[in-house]
Structure 1
Amino acid sequence: MSARALSDQALSRPGWVQAVVVVLAGLVAMGVTAALGLWAAGAADLPDGAFPRVVAATVVTSVGGVVELSGDVGGLAETAAGLSVIPLSVTLVGALVIAAGFLRPLRHRAVAGAGELGAWAGKVAVLWLLGLLGLALGARQTFRISLGEGAITDIGDLLGLTPEIGFTTDVPLSLFFGLLWLVGVLALALLVSRGAPLPGRLLRFQESVRPAAYAMVVLLLAYVVLGFVIGLIVAATRGHAVETFAVLLLGLPNLVWLGLTLGLGATWDGRVEGPFELPMPHVLDQVLRSSEVQAVNVGTLSEQDGRWWWLVVVAAVLVLGAAFVMAARSPARVRLWQHAVHMAVALALTVLMICLVGRISASYGLSVLGIGDLGGDLAGELFLRPRIWIALGLAVLWGLVTGLLGGLLAKRVRRRGATP
């Protein structure tokens, strides 16, 4: 057997060392991104050396982990708090790094058995769970909080109340959702990469699934790149550079993928009450800051600033571009109606993913001897959630139309299977 054949065989059977490298690279990339974003947001000034634990909690939540908030102010007071948000910038960085590392040893293979792929994915999964377990166990901290000024402070000092709030991780749930996240990342990596091997029984699906999956990844990344460029321009021209970088490093996909759904015509319901400040454009904060639930769509945003209609134009251009990419990577024998169906299904699944991971929910309340009702001045609430069925219906319509147009445009491009 030649040296090249031996090298290819070794590469085709990645072992534990390569799995360690993949997992470690992913966790380090996510940790660095989270740390820089939290530092820019001012979390480095947290007391009691809590910054590393907050970073760990951020990484855990970025893969779907559950972090629970708790409070303790003694028997004469009551607290309530909750937080549910995914820092998608950290999520995206980890997904890209782990996917690239997972695919690298497979790049010399045309076909791989299900057992081989399962064994390689299993090694990565075991080490991933161990790393995530360590982060989840370390993601817990308690802080003392101020009661503010006035009568509540005087009562607290008189009674010796020392309000505390903390966070901890639901380890079993975090490991479960973290494993689901990893499975999704590895599966999507195999679907997107044209050069990645698939088991023989699945080869017949690659012509319909792979181009659509690739096009959706291109669409999502295009929005992220566009948002990053806009963020850099804002940081350079309007000040608040540190705060802007905090948003870019923690929640950029949260913003731009929300913009994708709004550009397609979707509506989100939300409300901001209390001292919460959204790391989002000021117009969105104006729309949401109300005592009642507000509808967020291009129409309501444009009432504050007419430039928000550009979201529709951007969505039309980028979604059509994704449809063209999908059609150009598909075999020439695929019919126009099939392009439309493939695009509709892919875009609907993409919008569903955004609706599930883009939700935001945060609340807190504090009451001491009945002063400061849990729903009053010392309370706050923030939430943003989509109207999923309307969003999915619009995604299907956009997919059908752009799939047809993309297929027509791709006819001018020579594709696999085309006759000269």
Structure 2
Amino acid sequence: MTARTTPSDRAVARHGWFQALATVLGGLVAMVVVAALGLWAAGATDLPAGSFPKVVAATVVTAVGGTVELSGDAGALAGTEGGLTVMPLSVTLTGALLIGWGFLRPLRHRAVAGTPELAGWIARFLALWLIALLALACTARHTFEISLGEGALSDLGDLLGVRPEVGFAANVPLTVLVGLVWLAGVLLLALMVARGAPLPGRLLRFHTTVRPAAHAMVQLLLAFVVIGLVIALVVAATRDHPSETFAVILLGLPNVVWLALTIGLGATWNGRVDGPFGLPMPKLLDEVLRTPDVSTLDLGTLAEHDGRVWWLPVVAGVLLLTVAFVMAAVAPPRIRVWQHAVHLAVALALTVLMVCLVGRVSARLGLSVLGIGDLGEGLTGQVLLDPQVWGALGLALLWGLVTGFLGALLALLLRRRREKQHAPVSAGAG
């Protein structure tokens, strides 16, 4: 028998490019809007005229893993240096959720999809995303003139005719490459996580092993974002400077709450905040990290400033146990308790590794005139945040094994209780 294409199949093929275009544009516009509102709340509208749209484009570029390079030009008598590595994960998450949803929408209500069909859909998205990346990367470039402030440094600059400039520009080839990998990862993750998404016949065996654990991790990450959003909105409504809180929400809420997840599991990060050049972050993090040397960021150091951080392990444990129970409750009975524990442990370790990779922050800007001023007081700043990866992964494996085992055991006990309750009814009917 030969397979026949139905009118609906032909319609999907005909309108596939339109659907992919609508999804890519919708996701891109949403990312631009979130980035613009976040930068507006952070005070970026005070930048020189004409630069705000370019800063927004640079923010979206970094949100998809692209690279923005800082450069300076102050002539032969002055020097500038800088670098920026940070992902505004609020913007990243917005684009990933919308594009992932749009990618899965035409594939819903089906159990199996051929590999060529899925490859065709992914190719459409990647081709359109390539155009969007090129446009963003070419837009994300600008140069600012830096004021030398007041005092001896300013007088020396006026005497020598030094007008230092600092600029940023997206690395186009690297941005395109990493941005395409980012989108491919989003699409594959959407197929992996969504329970109703179709898979090729050869991959259906992963439906009962990989998908439940992956779905549980997405639930865990989104639960932390929702909890963080509620807390941030309460803070914005009850404290001064709500714009700073909204800047955190719109630019870096997942950065903060997923950092809190890893710290709640016992992980340690190292970091430092120096100078007026900073990134939107809660006051507690700024207090811990604003030290002369690199600081240790963990439950102990945070608790010295706010004892409420001891709730982080409790929240992490409760949410992990919840997603473990749900994962085991919907899984086939043939999967054993220890298998659930292993699946959750591996999934949690991979999730923590992802958070460690995307949560790194490295930002520095400095200026010096003939070596005077230690790069210029008020003109230098640094933000660093770096995880101790191996310790975080080991703790994630331990937490995953324990909560995965307990959650699966609870689901097994509940299943057996239901079977006992229905056993007399089944026997009487027989």
TM-score (norm 2): 0.93
Q: Tell me the residue number matched to 1:186.
A: 187
Matched, 1:27 2:32: no
- Using the TM superposition, give the Cα deviation of residue 183 of structure 1 relative to its aligned residue in structure 2, in angstroms: 0.9
Cα distance in 2 for residues equivalent to 1:20 and 1:184:
18
**Cα distance between partner residues in 1 of 2:191 and 2:73:** 47
Aligned to 1:383: 384
Q: Distance in 2 between matches of 1:232 and 1:69?
A: 33
Q: Where does residue 269 of structure 1 map in the other structure?
A: 270
Greater displacement, 189-198 / 268-277:
268-277
Residue 426 of structure 2 aligns with which residue?
none
SS, match of residue 188 in structure 2? helix
- In the alignment, the residues of structure 2 paired with residue 220 and residue 13 of structure 1 have an alpha-carbon distance, to the nearest angstrom, of 36
**Separation of aligned partners in 1, 2:240 and 2:331:** 45
Q: Which residue of 2 aligns with 1:68?
A: 69
8 Å Cα contact 2:277-2:380 kept in structure 1: no
CA distance in 2, matches of 1:374, 1:240: 30
Aligned counterparts of 1:327 and 1:155: Cα–Cα separation in 2: 69
SS at match of 2:244: helix
1:202 maps to: 203
* CA displacement at 1:414 relative to structure 2: 5.2
SS at match of 2:225: helix
Residue identity in the other structure for 1:90: V
Show the 5 A alignment for 1:347-386.
Answer: 347-374=348-375, 378-386=379-387
Identify the range of structure 1 (377-386 vs 234-243) with the bigger mean alpha-carbon deviation.
377-386
Letter in 2 for 1:138: T
CA separation of 1:278 and 1:57: change in aligned 2, threshold 3 A: closer
| 8 A Cα contact 1:372 1:378, kept in partner | no
Separation of aligned partners in 2, 1:96 and 1:365: 37
| Correspondence for 1:337 | 338
Q: Which amino acid aligns with 2:351?
A: T
Question: Aligned pair count?
Answer: 415
Indicate yes or no: 2:8 matched with 1:7: yes
Q: Which residue identity lines up with residue 53 of structure 2 in the other structure? A: P
Q: Is this contact kept in 1: 2:193–2:211, CA < 8 A?
A: yes
Q: Distance in 2 between matches of 1:377 and 1:97?
A: 40
Match of 1:145 in 2: 146
Correspondence list, 1:159-178, <5 A? 159-178=160-179
Structure 1 partner of 2:249: 248
CA distance in 1 between counterparts of 2:371 and 2:293 reads 25
Report if aligned partners of 2:195, 2:211 keep a CA contact under 8 Å in 1: yes
Q: Residues 109, 9 of structure 1: CA spacing in aligned structure 2 closer, same or farther, 3 A cutoff?
A: farther
Distance 1:361 1:187 in 2: 29
Residue deviations 1:336-391, cap 9 Å, x none? Answer: 00000000000000000000000011112211122123497743322010000000
Could you tell me which residue of structure 2 aligns to residue 157 of structure 1? 158
- The answer to whether the Cα contact below 8 Å between 2:252 and 2:281 also exists between their aligned partners in 1 is no
Match of 2:284 in 1: 283
3-state SS, counterpart of residue 173 of structure 1: helix
Compared with structure 1, are the counterparts of its residues 62 and 347 closer, same or farther at alpha carbon in structure 2 (3 Å cutoff)? same
Are the aligned partners of 1:142 and 1:167 in contact in 2 as well (CA < 8 Å)?
yes
* Residues 151-198 of structure 1 deviation map (CA, whole Å, 9 limit, x = unaligned): 111111122211111100100100111011111100110011111110
Identity level (%): 68
In structure 1, what is the equivalent of residue 230 of structure 2?
Answer: 229
Contact 1:327/1:410 (8 A) holds in 2: yes
Contact 1:14-1:120 within 8 A present in 2 as well: no
Amino acid at match of 1:79: T
Q: How big is the shift at 1:109?
A: 2.2
8 Å contact from structure 2 (residues 276, 378) kept in 1: no
Does residue 118 (structure 1) correspond to residue 119 (structure 2)? The answer is yes
| 2-structure distance, mates of 1:79, 1:94 | 34
| Secondary structure of 1:167's aligned partner | strand
Q: 1:321 to 1:117 in 2, by over 3 A?
A: same
Offset, 1:12: 7.2
1:413 is displaced (CA, Å) by 5.0
Please say which of residues 264-273 and 338-347 is displaced more in the overlay. 264-273
* Root-mean-square deviation over aligned CA pairs: 1.9
State which drifts further: 266-275 or 135-144: 266-275
Alignment-derived partner of residue 409 in structure 1: 410
* CA distance in 2: counterparts of 1:53 and 1:413, whole angstroms: 56
Query: In the alignment, is residue 327 of structure 1 matched against residue 322 of structure 2?
Result: no
Q: Give the match's secondary structure for 1:411.
A: helix
State the 1:5 CA deviation. Answer: 5.5
Q: Which amino acid aligns with 2:42?
A: A
Asked if structure 1 preserves the Cα contact closer than 8 Å seen for 2:220 and 2:323, the reply is yes
Structure 1 residue 272: Cα displacement: 1.8
User: Which residue of structure 2 aligns with residue 49 of structure 1?
Assistant: 50
Determine if contact 1:71/1:164 at 8 Å carries over to the other structure. Answer: yes
Structure 2 CA distance for aligned equivalents of residues 414 and 20 of structure 1: 45
* Equivalent-residue separation in structure 2 for 1:49 and 1:376 (angstroms): 27
Separation in 1 of the partners of 2:310 and 2:359? Answer: 21
Letter in 1 for 2:183: L
Contact 1:12-1:106 at 8 Å conserved across structures: no
One-letter amino acid of the structure 2 residue matched with residue 179 of structure 1: L
Checking the alignment, whether the CA contact within 8 Å between 2:321 and 2:403 is kept in structure 1 is yes
Please state how far the C-alpha of 1:280 moved relative to its aligned partner.
Answer: 2.4
Task: Report the TM-score, using the length of structure 1 for normalisation.
Answer: 0.95
Q: How far 1:205 sits from its partner (Å)?
A: 1.4
Other structure's SS at 2:296 match: strand
The whole-number CA distance in structure 2 between the counterparts of 1:20 and 1:377 is 45
| Alpha-carbon offset, residue 285 of structure 1 | 1.8
